[in-house]
Amino acid sequence: MKGTQMVSDGKTARQLFEEVMANPARRKFGFGTKLAIVNVDFQQAYTRTDLFATAYETDPRQIEWVNAISDLARGAGMPVVWSRVGYADDAGDAGVWGTRTDTPDSLQNIKYGSERHAYDPRCRIAPGDLQYTKRMPSAFFETPLASYLVWHKVDTVVVTGGSTSGCVRATAVDALSRGYRTIVPIETTADKHESYHFANLTDLQLKYADVEPVSAVIDWFGAR
């Protein structure tokens, strides 16, 4: 027998993540020459734990770190992108994704122009940043992102935001699928439960992205 059965060793998702990060088994994709910061769904529905039941927090400095690397990107003449989720009043543009529940907190009930749709005011969004509303998990799906990155001759995508297990993961997988070196800074992502968070960071690191401390992005800008 050359393969193996599924491992069940009782380790937590955090323990597995720490083991993978401490003993990397594969080479990194690394940074290219020009990156874009893609900030996924920093909207109040998901960031304002003081206002909405759907919000969550992992690292309390998450938005601070995102602002810092976004500032560095702008200073280097590199693009910064902000996405958020929102739907029409009848949720007709949510598709099948909007059919599993129908409560005031449900995804498809994030209406355009609502408080849940609004970006978190702590986000430092500049006039030249690309901003748009998406309707599905990936920041690439039926949005202007793909053509925007081509126009800016980007070869590296840095994905931040939430949730790690949802829209961050979907965006990172799509970035790699489109041929981009993909970086996910740990402190800039968040999820509702540490198991989802660390399990998906582990999977991203093993397959689809370089999962790095945010200091790696800061250092890259400093070394240019």
- Tell me the two tokens of residue 38: 């893609």
Q: Which one from 69, 145, 167, 170 is the annotated catalytic residue?
A: 167
- CA atoms of 137 and 167, how far apart (whole Å): 4
> Is-catalytic flag, 123?
no
- CA atoms of 80 and 74, how far apart (whole Å): 7
**99: DSSP letter:** G
SS3 of residue 48 by DSSP: coil
Burial class for 162, CB neighbours closer than 10 Å (0-12, 13-18, 19+): buried
Hey, which residues are catalytic here?
167
